[in-house]
Amino acid sequence: MGAYHFVFPRWSNALLPTIAVAGAVVPLYVVAMVAYGFSPLTTDVGYQPIQPVDYSHKLHAGELGIDCRYCHNTVEYANKAAIPPTQTCFNCHTQIHKDSPKLLPLWESYETGLPVEWIRVHDLPDFAYFSHAAHVSRGVSCVECHGRIDKMEVVYQHETLSMGWCLSCHRDPHPHLRDPALVTDLAWGFDFSDEVRRAHGEAFNHKNFDSIVPSTDCSTCHR
């Protein structure tokens, strides 16, 4: 009988318990960290950065009634809702409160040609694809994702924007649909019951689109 040949030295047997424990614990740790990372506890609800210009959506969109699309003018036609250039602000502010110290960053931008460095509030990860146009054109209002912007002195993140949150809407879109002509009427429907909102969404869906059935395939958002 030939001699036995050992692939590993004998002392490596002492490592087997450690390897076994690591093999059992590490996958559980990874799963737990991923689950925690995507839980509502760790999303950015309430994130409210201080912007370089003291701009009030409550005043402009709420009290003055300026349509969201005046500033975010690509929201109906492009994936991203445009951040307004300085010139958009000065369409009004060359005449209104033009000497206000709050406008100094705008004047600096206007004179230098450099854009105001606004801080993004709603920032999806790069691996998630989202089209504003696809949603707005089908009757998903700004308020569904951004909350009552027209009541916010300083804008903050109102929803989790998590994968589960998006999927819940894709699986049951009717309570979140309205006539696209009403998408910037942020107060519309807030005095309706859930049943009435659903009925409005179902009626509009069947009348105008026959049937909106949002995809829940991974490739819809992860391209």
Per-residue b or e along 62-73, where b marks 16 or more CB atoms closer than 10 Å to that residue's CB: beeebebbebbb
DSSP state of 28: H
Higher pLDDT, 14 or 92: 92
| Domain total of the chain | 3
Average pLDDT over residues 75-102: 94
* CA 204 to chain centroid: 25
Q: Are 205 and 167 part of one and the same domain?
A: yes
| pLDDT over threshold 50, residue 40 | no
- Judge whether 206 lies within some domain: yes
Q: Are 133 and 211 part of one and the same domain?
A: yes
Domain containing residue 108 = 85-117
User: What local confidence, expressed as pLDDT, does residue 18 receive?
Assistant: 74
Give residues with Cβ within 8 angstroms of 156, minimum separation 6: 46, 47, 48, 121
Q: Are 52 and 163 in contact (CB under 8 A)?
A: no
Angle between helices 86-93 and 104-112 (to 10 degrees): 120
Q: Are 51 and 63 part of one and the same domain?
A: yes
| pLDDT over threshold 80, residue 32 | no
Higher pLDDT, 124 or 31: 124
Q: Are 178 and 102 part of one and the same domain?
A: no
User: What local confidence, expressed as pLDDT, does residue 8 receive?
Assistant: 65
Q: Are 73 and 89 part of one and the same domain?
A: no
User: How far is residue 76's CA from residue 137's CA, in Å, rounded to a whole number?
Assistant: 6
